[in-house]
Structures are given as C-alpha cells and as structure tokens.
C-alpha cells in the first residue's frame, strides 16, 4: 500500500510540476555540476580475494576465499595495470585466466557487493562454439540526461532518429537507471552490467583521484580491448578517461566543470567525428555529449534551447548513420544512442523520480531491418516516461556481448534483450546466448549466497519461503530441462520462457540485495555516537536542571524529531515537521509574552509579526516530494512578477547598505563610510546581475534588465565575483581589526554580521535573496524577546532548519544546489568549491548561527556565565541524538524498499548537518565570532 500510495502521490506531483514549475526559473539547481562534483572519483577498487593455489578454473567454478593483499598485486599484474606500463597490453595479448576468488569487502552502511576479479572467458558448452556475432564495431553515443521523451515523443527534436525507428533500422527502449542517477555510477552500470554502490555518491570529491578506476574490472570495454581487432577512441566527458585510464588509443576529454555555455562543450566532441568515421583502425568509438544536460540544469527541460540542442544531436546521429550505410569499413557497425540518466521537470537529476530514471536507449544499424519491422513514432506522451519496451540499463552489457562477440562481463547483472534473438536463426545459438547469460549471473548469485547451489528442492518452487530458495529451485529445474542440442524434435518455447523469467528474477534479487552489511561497524558507529550523546547530556544537564520548564520543549522536539526518522514519508516531507514545530514554538513565546503583563503589548505584536513572516517563508520554496509541484513564491510568483522580485532584491541590498553605512566604518566620516559601503554593495549587486544575465536572463526585468543589458559589459563573472569577495573580505578584516582599538562596548559585531550576510546574499539564488531580508526582520524581534539560554538554543535549531527548507533544501540528492559553487573560481579547488557549495545550500542556517552569536553576546553582557559552553552543549546534544536516531533507522531498515532512495540520502544530509553546519559553522565560526564579540564588549 505504501509503495502504491507513494507512486500515486508522485504521479500527481509530476502533473503539478508540469503545470506550475517552469524550468527557466529553476536555474540555480544545477545538479549537473553537483553530480560531476560528486562523480569525478569512482568507487575504490575492491581487493580481490586470495586465489586457491593459483588454480585456473572455468566460469562456473567460483568459490568464496579470504581476501589477501598479495593476491591483489598478482591480479593487478595479470591485468597489467602497473602505472609505469601500459595498462592494456596484457588484455591485448591474451585473456587473463579467471581465478577462484571474489571480494566481499564491507564498509559498514555502504557495503561493496561481491566482486569477481579478472576477465570472463567463454566456457565450453556442448552447443558448440559461441554464436557468430552480427557486428564487429560499435559506436556508443551518450547524450547526458537524454530523457526518453526527448527522443520518442511528438515534442522531440530527434526527427531523423524517429524516422529510423519507423523504418525498422532502429529499435527503441526506455532503459531504467537506478538511483543515484548521476553520470559516474551510470557509466559503471552501463559498462559492467552491475548495480553500482550508493557509496559512489560520497566518494567522488577529488578531481585528480586516481584510485577510482575500472581498469581491473571486467567491462565490455575491457572485453573489446582484449579482442585486439581494433583501437578504441573516446571523445567527450572525461569521466570515461578517469574510469578507464590508458584504455583509449585516441581521446579528447571534455571537463564538465567551468563550461558556462552548452555549445562549445559539444563542438569539441563533434569536430572529431568526421575524421574518426573515415578511419578504419578502431573497433570502439565512445562519444559523450554534455550540452543537453547543461541546458536542463540551466533552464529546465522546457528551455527554448532544448529543441535546437536535440536537433543538433539528431544531426550527429544522421551523420554517423549515413556513414554506416555508405562506408564499407562501417557496414558491420552497431550504433547505440543512449542517455546515462534522465532529468526531472526542474532539470535536475540524482534522485529516483520517473523522469530521472528513464533515459532513452536506441540501437541503430541497417542490419536491424532484417529482424525489425518498425515501431509507431512519435509515441504518445507518458507521465511515467516509459516508452516502448522497458529494460534495465545494465542489460546493455550482455546484449553488446552477444551482438559483438565477446564473453559477458562476469559481474554483470543484466539480461540479454530478447528483441535481438532473431539475429540467430539456429535455435541452439539462441539457447546458448540465454544459457551463457544465466550461468554468468548464477556465478554472481553463488558468490553472494554460497549455499545457492545446494539450497532447496527442484519442484513446487512457489511454496518456498525466501527469494533465494525459490531462485535456486527454479535454477535446478532450468538446468534439468536444458534442451538437448542433438534433439531436433525438442520443444524450446517453455525453456525460453522459464529462463527469461529466471534471469529477470535473479536480476531483481541481486540488484536490490546488499548482503555485505558489516553490522559490527554499524553498531560501533552508533556506540561512538551514543558516547558523544552521553557526554553532551552530562554537559547540558546543569542547564536543564536550572531551567527545567523551558527545557521540556527542547527535549520533546528532539525525541519527536528522532522518532520521525523511522518513517520514509516523514523523511521525505521533513520540512513539515520544522514548519509546524516552529509555529508551535512561536505560539509558546507569544503565551510567554502575554504573561509578562499589559506593558508588553508591543512585544506580543512582535511575536505575531514573527508568525506572519514565518508563514511567508514556508511558501517561498515548495520542497519535499508530495507537494513539490505546488505553486510557490520563488518559482511561480516571482516568475510571473519579476519586477516585484527585483524590487525586493533592491530593498535587501539597501537594508544591508544602511546598516554598513551606520556601523561599518566608525573611524570614517559618515559620507566616507557611506561611499565605501556603497562601493562594496555595488560590487555585489553588479556581480549578481551579471550572473543572472548570463545564467537566467528570463528572470531579469525592469531596471535590473536595463542595468544587465547596458552597463555590465567587460569583466568576466570570475573577476566580478573576486572583486565582490575581496571587497567584503577587506571590509570584514578592517572591521575586525578596528574593533580592538575602539572604545568598549562597540557595535562592530553587528557590522561583521551584515558583511557575512552580504556574502550569503552573493551566494544565494536571485529568487532567494529576499528571504534574507525576512530573516533580518525576524532576528531583532527574537533578540528583544528576552530568551534564556535554552530558549535561545531551541530557537536557533528551529530557525536553522526552517530556513534550510524554506530556501529549497530537502533530503534528496537532486536538491543539492551548486549554482554558486564556482563563484570566483577559475580552476578546480576542492576547498574553495566545498566552502562555496556549503554556503550556497546552508545560507539560512549560517545566517542564524551569526544572528544567534549576537543574541548570546547580549546574554553575556547581562551577566550570564558560560553562555557559549551551555549553548554548544545543547546543540551538540541535539545533533548527536538526531544522528544516533538516523544511524539506528538506517541499520534497522537496511532492507527497506526505500533504503537507498530515502534513508541513505538522509544519512548523508545528517553527516553534512553534523560535520558541516554544527562542527564547522556552529562550533568553529560561531565560537570565533563569540570570542571576537567578547573582546568588543
């Protein structure tokens, strides 16, 4: 029921998205860059297990052995992956014999699945030699984020491709891409046929990382390299070069970073195509185009640039296909067009929405006309993006293996796509193709479940209790009923049906399994977190004992919030908890203000203003899953009323200017302070206008558009950003230093807070800039409520989380915003990009950390002792408690249907909140600001 309800709500949400959310104003969620930041490093190569006395065995004789580091070296030498030699020469000269070992390396919550090392070889079967392959070359063209409807629907720009589908020269599919839908894991799935680990998402941070490689894993690229009948060439996304070092004889990698446009990035690929089509020395050509994905992230799937880009890609398809038709050297070339993933209606990807998991897949060749009569084209629009037959993306690997004539990669979980079986007229060949696929997957199943071969009976399979028992039972039946190759009168239809069914069941079981959880590590992590919770409780206990009544809301909030971490719907819709909790807290503060008597009428009114402003922030960005498609202020109202947007933006900058002029430069005359402040604000404003003009010109209107069109020529965005950051930094440095020589107390901390706010404005999306104005309205009201230390800490937690979700944050990978990750950065720098990225996504929480510091300083000035210590103890208690709840939920629900799509992203966000926001911002930044403020009191 839960799954059906979730699917229903998501389908309804898609309808609302199409109606209410327009891609051009969702420019800032540039998941394209976010994905590339996360995917440039791949999963570290698991260590193969110790081989059994060096014995070489056939494919079916795999056994589980203990891991041994020395054998890793042997296996690397066997694969010839020494950094000082060519990594592919051994593959060229002869196949590596497969050894009897596997890796079952464990990594706590993010386990590695069993990994079989070496290259697969053809096993001798009584059906004779492997079937003759119909193709000897492949052109594999990946168009990043090529969603299925971009190719197959009536709104598509792929007119030539559609004509091939109609004529029978192309066979279309929708290829399901499992989450996480980012490029590097999807390339892994496409080339190995396996399901990548979710750990790939968090391991990919260093662009120069060399440990992430598929060099010693079995892939269809390695198999084609081993055939030695041609060179390999690659042009496009350099992720391929990082995953397959020294595989390609000719290559030109295109970095996905720093590409502001979506034209040059594809021209750099296309310029190599005519020359390579004229060459006859290659057997594999990989092309990976990034431009369409850039458009999606910049302006959404309905961008006016989307159809022209599709037509451009369709022109490349036409050029390649016509060359295959006319050139003798390409007559036996298979042309594959596919997307690595799709995109949602905001242009993002990384999650599990239907649009993100439904890329197009098209096989093309004149030879296909002999087995295919064509399909209806264009296909009717579909809400779930499932056009034509639905296959798994991992099915590409075994299908290419048979079509090109090489063994199926041994870690493959894909199944041969049956539409291509008519290429072989002999029934023995068809049986052999499916049987080899089944035996290869059976090896993986046995490596994961060692008791598989001996498990269960061979009849009444449906009565067995577990999936693996039923699978083993059906395997025995399938093996016993394998058709005799010498029996000409045998019936094979039933065997074909049962084998295809077994392949799909095994694929589903193995794709969803994660049998290598190291529970001891999970428990160890929880014990350590629990110890931190105990220490934090001991530190906070005296404060709670002194203020028991005001501590109860904090304790209740922590317990209720932790309990919600056990339910997937609550995790997806977490923002509702914080919105309602904040509203309830403000109501409690209003009751408190009433109890102080009639003299506090203004105070009561202020609390009501707080409630109204909080209600507005709740509607700023619709987030979560269920209601993400509803109309909101940022994506709907401001898109329709752009002058209102820029009026609020102007007011936000002017309010900041007014405070800086009054407090920022006290040693200067007022006119000089105003001039300096105006120069700083001007630098920030001109950068933001130039950035918006470059990135989302459709948002500009009125005076903002005039300024952007007429007065912002010349300087590059990187230079403008550096000027703005330098101005803010110098002003901050001057304010900090001058505060030590001024009379005490002074108000320099307020100026420092406003300079930090200006930096956060610079890092925010244009549509979110007015949010900071609303926060500035809330801050002084809260500061005047005479809150004690527990109330201040509780308020901080509530407003940090509320502001995070109000700004468009969520617990989904696809909501990560890197629109401002490269402001002022001209080359990849993990520290700079990391700080800018965090500031962009945690703008609200950082603001409230700074604001809370000023509130703590006010308490200190009133004589409250150990203010910072008490505050950090309470925050640490909350963070450790929540982290323990999340870790326990992930452990207990590790077999849950939504463990990878809901709970795993939540765990990653919890780590970001714990390490980034709490340790980095609350503790380090907050303590630093508090110490500075203490010097100025």
**Which one, of 801, 642, 823, 696, lies nearest residue 347 by Cα?**
696
Q: Which tokens go with 80? A: 């010839």
- Residues 197, 201, 206, CA angle at the centre, nearest 5°? 120
Distance between CA atoms of residues 913 and 308, nearest Å: 41
DSSP secondary structure string for all residues of 513-552:
--TT--HHHHHHHHHHHHHHHHHHHHHHHHHHHHSHHHHH
**C-alpha distances in angstroms, 198 versus 38, 184, 238, 900, 904?**
12, 11, 21, 7, 8
Residues of the chain predicted below pLDDT 70: 1-114, 197-212, 255-261, 453-458, 488-489, 512-517, 596-601, 628-629, 711-715, 827-828
Structural contact between residues 40 and 363, judged by C-beta atoms closer than 8 angstroms: no
Q: What is the DSSP letter of 111?
A: P
Distance between CA atoms of residues 469 and 464, nearest Å: 6
Which residue bears the tokens 């950035």? 691
pLDDT value, residue 898: 78
**Which one, of 405, 454, 412, lies nearest residue 437 by Cα?**
412
Neighbour tally for 843: CB within 10 Å: 28
- Residues 903, 907, 909, CA angle at the centre, nearest 5°? 115
Domain 31-122+138-196+211-420 has CATH 3.50.50.60: no
Neighbour tally for 419: CB within 10 Å: 18
Structural contact between residues 526 and 460, judged by C-beta atoms closer than 8 angstroms: no
pLDDT value, residue 75: 40
**C-alpha distances in angstroms, 853 versus 728, 801, 927?**
20, 17, 8
Instruction: Identify the bridge partners of residue 285 per DSSP, sorted by sequence position.
Output: 139, 233
Instruction: Identify the bridge partners of residue 106 per DSSP, sorted by sequence position.
Output: none
Distance between CA atoms of residues 700 and 707, nearest Å: 10
**3-class secondary structure, 604:** helix
Pairing of strands 102-103, 231-237: unpaired
Distance between CA atoms of residues 139 and 137, nearest Å: 7
**Which one, of 319, 812, 739, lies nearest residue 575 by Cα?**
812
**C-alpha distances in angstroms, 51 versus 79, 80, 116, 118, 438?**
15, 17, 11, 11, 24
Distance between CA atoms of residues 239 and 290, nearest Å: 11
Which residue bears the tokens 């979730």? 6
Question: Residue 211 burial by CB count (10 A; 0-12/13-18/19+): exposed, middle or buried?
Answer: exposed
Instruction: Identify the bridge partners of residue 466 per DSSP, sorted by sequence position.
Output: none
Q: Which tokens go with 890? A: 């992930």
Structural contact between residues 844 and 771, judged by C-beta atoms closer than 8 angstroms: yes
DSSP secondary structure string for all residues of 782-830:
HHTT---HHHHHHHHHHHHHHHHHHTT--SSGGG---TTTTTT-SS--H
Structural contact between residues 781 and 851, judged by C-beta atoms closer than 8 angstroms: no
- Angle between helix 670-695 and 748-763 (nearest 10): 20
**C-alpha distances in angstroms, 550 versus 19, 499, 802, 867?**
45, 66, 20, 16
Distance between CA atoms of residues 610 and 587, nearest Å: 10
Question: Residue 94 burial by CB count (10 A; 0-12/13-18/19+): exposed, middle or buried?
Answer: exposed
CA dihedral 276, 280, 282, 288 (to 10 degrees): 20
pLDDT value, residue 465: 74
- Residues 27, 31, 34, CA angle at the centre, nearest 5°? 125
Which residue bears the tokens 């998941």? 31
Residues 6+ apart with CB under 8 A from 641: none
Q: Which tokens go with 280? A: 């006859």
Q: What is the pLDDT of residues 507-538, one digit of tens each?
A: 888 876 654 567 788 899 999 999 999 999 99
pLDDT value, residue 818: 75
**C-alpha distances in angstroms, 739 versus 177, 201, 732, 749, 753?**
56, 44, 11, 9, 13
DSSP secondary structure string for all residues of 887-923:
HHHHHHTTTSTTIIIIIHHHHHHHHIIIIIIIIIIII
Query: How many Cα atoms are found within 13 Å in the side-chain-facing hemisphere of 918?
Result: 22
Q: What's the N-to-C CA distance of the chain in angstroms?
A: 60
Mean confidence (pLDDT) of the chain = 83
Provide φ and ψ at 351, rounded to 5°: -100, -150
Predicted TM-score of the model (pTM): 0.76
pLDDT value, residue 747: 85
pLDDT value, residue 502: 93
Structural contact between residues 607 and 590, judged by C-beta atoms closer than 8 angstroms: yes
Instruction: Enumerate the CATH 3.40.720.10 domain ranges in the chain, comma separated.
Output: 31-122+138-196+211-420
pLDDT value, residue 635: 84
Provide φ and ψ at 157, rounded to 5°: -100, 5
Residues 6+ apart with CB under 8 A from 385: 147, 148, 149, 174, 342, 354, 355, 358
- Ramachandran region of residue 860, left (φ > 0), alpha (ψ -120 to 50) or beta? alpha
Structural contact between residues 340 and 145, judged by C-beta atoms closer than 8 angstroms: yes
DSSP secondary structure string for all residues of 410-421:
TT------GGGG
Range 251-254 contact pairs with CB under 8 angstroms and sequence separation of 24 or more: 254/288, 254/290
């Amino acid at each position: 029921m839960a799954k059906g309800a979730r699917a229903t709500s998501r389908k309804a949400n898609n309808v609302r998205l199409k109606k209410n959310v327009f891609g051009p104003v969702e420019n800032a969620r540039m998941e394209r860059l976010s994905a590339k930041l996360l995917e440039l490093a791949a999963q570290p190569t698991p260590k193969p297990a110790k081989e059994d006395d060096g014995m070489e065995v056939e494919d079916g004789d795999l056994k589980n052995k203990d891991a041994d580091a020395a054998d890793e070296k042997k296996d690397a030498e066997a694969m010839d992956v020494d950094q000082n030699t060519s990594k592919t020469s051994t593959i060229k000269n002869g196949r590596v014999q497969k050894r009897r070992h596997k890796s079952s390396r464990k990594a706590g919550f993010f386990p590695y699945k069993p990994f079989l090392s070496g290259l697969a070889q053809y096993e001798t079967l009584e059906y004779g030699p492997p079937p003759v392959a119909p193709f000897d070359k492949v052109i594999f063209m990946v168009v990043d984020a090529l969603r299925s409807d971009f190719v197959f629907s009536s709104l598509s720009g792929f007119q030539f491709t559609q004509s091939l589908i109609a004529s029978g020269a192309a066979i279309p599919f929708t290829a399901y891409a499992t989450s996480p839908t980012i490029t590097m894991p999807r390339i892994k799935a496409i080339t190995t046929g396996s399901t990548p680990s979710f750990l790939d998402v968090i391991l990919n941070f260093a662009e120069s990382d060399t440990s992430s490689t598929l060099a010693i894993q079995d892939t269809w690229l390695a198999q084609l390299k081993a055939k030695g009948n041609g060179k390999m060439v690659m042009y496009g996304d350099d992720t391929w070069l990082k995953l397959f070092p020294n595989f390609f004889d000719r290559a030109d990698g295109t970095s996905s970073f720093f590409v502001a446009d979506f034209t040059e990035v594809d021209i750099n690929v296309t310029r190599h195509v005519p020359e390579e089509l004229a060459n006859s020395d290659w057997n594999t050509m990989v092309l990976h185009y990034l431009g369409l994905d850039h458009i999606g992230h910049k302006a959404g799937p309905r961008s006016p640039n989307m159809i022209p880009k599709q037509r451009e890609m369709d022109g490349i398809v036409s050029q390649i296909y016509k060359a295959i038709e006319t050139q003798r050297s390409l007559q036996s070339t298979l042309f594959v067009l596919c997307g690595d993933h799709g995109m949602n209606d905001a242009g993002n990807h990384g999650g599990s929405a239907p649009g993100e998991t439904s890329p197009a897949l098209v096989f093309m060749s004149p030879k296909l006309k002999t087995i295919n009569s064509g399909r209806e084209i264009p296909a009717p629009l579909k809400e779930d993006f499932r056009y034509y037959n639905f296959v798994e993306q991992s099915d590409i690997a075994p299908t290419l293996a048979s079509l090109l004539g090489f063994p199926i990669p041994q870690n493959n979980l894909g199944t041969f796509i049956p539409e291509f079986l008519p290429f072989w007229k002999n029934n023995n060949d068809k049986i052999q193709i499916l049987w080899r696929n089944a035996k290869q997957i059976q090896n993986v199943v046995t490596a994961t479940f060692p008791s598989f071969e001996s498990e269960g009976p061979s009849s009444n399979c449906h009565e067995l209790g577990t999936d693996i028992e039923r699978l083993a039972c059906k395997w025995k039946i399938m093996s016993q009923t394998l058709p005799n190759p010498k029996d000409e009168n045998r019936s094979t239809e039933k065997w074909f049906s049962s084998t295809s069914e077994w392949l799909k069941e095994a694929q589903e079981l193995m794709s969803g399994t994660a049998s290598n959880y190291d529970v001891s590590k999970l428990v160890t992590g929880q014990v350590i977190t629990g110890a931190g919770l105990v220490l934090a409780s001991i530190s906070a206990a005296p404060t709670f004992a002194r203020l028991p009544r005001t501590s109860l809301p904090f304790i209740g909030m922590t317990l209720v919030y932790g309990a919600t971490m056990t339910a997937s719907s609550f995790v997806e819709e977490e923002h509702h908890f914080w919105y309602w909790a904040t509203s309830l807290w403000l109501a409690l503060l209003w009751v408190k203000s009433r109890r102080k008597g009639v003299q506090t009428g203004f105070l009561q009114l202020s609390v009501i203003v707080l409630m109204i402003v909080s209600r507005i922030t709740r509607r700023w960005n619709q987030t979560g899953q269920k209601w993400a498609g509803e109309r909101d202020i940022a994506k709907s109202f401001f898109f329709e009323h752009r002058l209102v947007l820029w009026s609020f933006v102007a007011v936000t900058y002017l309010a900041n200017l007014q405070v800086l002029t009054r407090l920022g430069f006290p040693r200067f005359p007022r006119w000089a302070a105003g001039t300096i402040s105006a120069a700083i604000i001007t630098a920030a404003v001109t950068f933001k206008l130039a950035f918006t003009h470059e990135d989302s010109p459709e948002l500009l209107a009125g005076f903002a558009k005039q300024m952007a069109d007429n007065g912002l020529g010349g300087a590059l965005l990187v230079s403008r950003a550096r000027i703005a950051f330098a101005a803010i930094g110098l002003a901050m440095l001057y304010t900090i230093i001058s505060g030590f020589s001024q009379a005490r107390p002074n108000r320099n901390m307020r100026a420092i807070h406003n300079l930090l706010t200006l930096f956060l404005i610079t890092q925010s999306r244009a549509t979110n800039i007015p949010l900071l104005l609303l926060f500035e309205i809330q801050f002084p009201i809260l500061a005047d409520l005479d809150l004690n230390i527990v109330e201040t800490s509780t308020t901080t937690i509530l407003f940090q989380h509320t502001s995070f979700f109000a700004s468009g944050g969520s617990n989904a990978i696809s909501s990560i915003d890197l629109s401002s990750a490269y402001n002022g950065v001209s080359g990849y720098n993990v520290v700079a990009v990391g700080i800018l990225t965090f500031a962009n996504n945690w703008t609200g929480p950082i603001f409230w950390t700074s604001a809370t510091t000023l509130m703590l300083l006010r308490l200190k000035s009133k004589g409250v002792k150990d203010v910072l210590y008490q505050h950090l103890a309470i925050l640490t208690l909350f963070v450790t408690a929540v982290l323990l709840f999340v870790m326990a939920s992930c452990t207990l629900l590790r077999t849950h249907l939504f463990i990878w799509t809901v709970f795993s992203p939540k765990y990653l966000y919890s780590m970001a909140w714990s390490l980034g926001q709490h340790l980095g911002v609350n503790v380090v930044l907050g303590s630093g600001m508090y110490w500075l403020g203490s010097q100025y009191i």
